[in-house]
Copies of this chain bind each other. A is one copy, B any other.
Amino acid sequence: MSSGDFVLDPRLAANTQPVVTLPMCDVLLMDDARYAWLVLVPRRNGMVEIADLSDRQQAELWQEVGRVVAKLRSVTSCEKINIGALGNIVRQLHVHVVARNQGDAAWPGPVWGHGKAEKYESSRRDALIGRLQRALT
């Protein structure tokens, strides 16, 4: 399957903005101003579990996650990074990388399923995307 045929899950597409394209994954920003929250989606249709990837693909995915973790940390100066691969609702394989800070909306609990997203004011969102793009490319 070439990456040209890749179809992003419509629920991910509806709640995110594209940031950058890494060799394996699309990196998306969740449209939720409560946290700086990125999602990596390997451009492979039909993948659900990390274990559906070959060992080599898993290594490549985690390498890209590591790169995103480092850059999100430096761009946001956050206190903690949370990484999660859940997929209980949206089954298409995706990995969350979230910048967390004491006192944020869900602290110290997980962000998934906590309250309702608060959409970004668009200039603030675009500024963050710009900073992430410069860090990640």
Q: Which residues of A line the B interface, CB within 8 A?
A: 48-51, 55, 58-59, 62-63, 65-66, 69-70, 73, 80-89, 100, 107-110, 112-113
Main DSSP-derived SS at the A contact region: mixed
Bound-state Cα–Cα, A107 to B85, Å: 15
Complex Cα gap A88–B111 (Å): 11
Could you tell me if B83 and A84 are in contact, using CB atoms closer than 8 angstroms? yes
Give complex CA distance A36, B55 in Å.
24
| Contact in complex: A88, B63 (CB < 8 Å) | no
Chain B residues, CB < 8 A from A100: 88
| CA A136 to CA B14, docked complex, whole Å | 40
| Contact partners of A81 in chain B: CB under 8 A | 49-51, 85
Which residue of chain B is the closest to A100 with respect to CB atoms? B88
When distances are taken between beta carbons in the complex, the residues of chain B under 8 Å from A50 are 65-66, 69, 81, 83
Given contacts A59-B59, A62-B58, contact A84 B84 (CB under 8 A): yes
